[in-house]
Amino acid sequence: MSHFLLMTVYAFLIAVFFSVLWKRNRRDQIRLFLQLFLGMMGGALAIAWLMYMFPSAPPAPIP
């Protein structure tokens, strides 16, 4: 499985759990679900984009 798929499933499950737990009517649940899901996915992609600028390995030597 890819990391992106796992991140999407995790964000989906967490958003469903908290939207059902915190809100009573269906409209508020859907609104909170979208806010949580899109916030987690957008935040994760933004952090991944920022981390892309910093390589994890030292640069290759120039021959």
**In the predicted model, what is the mean pLDDT of residues 45-55?**
88
Per-residue confidence at 62, pLDDT binned at 50, 70, 90? Answer: confident
Q: What's this model's pTM, rounded to 2 decimal places?
A: 0.80
- For residue 33, which of 9, 14, 15 has the smallest C-alpha distance? 15
- The CA distance from 27 to 17, in Å, is 15
Residue pLDDT, tens place only, 17-37: 999 999 999 999 999 999 999
- Which comes out higher in pLDDT, residue 53 or 34? 34
Per-residue model confidence (pLDDT) at position 40: 97
Give the E-state strand segments of the chain in sequence order.
none
Would you call 52 helix, strand, or coil by DSSP? helix
- The CA distance from 49 to 54, in Å, is 10
Per-residue model confidence (pLDDT) at position 6: 96
- The answer to whether 23 touches 29, Cβ cutoff 8 Å, is yes
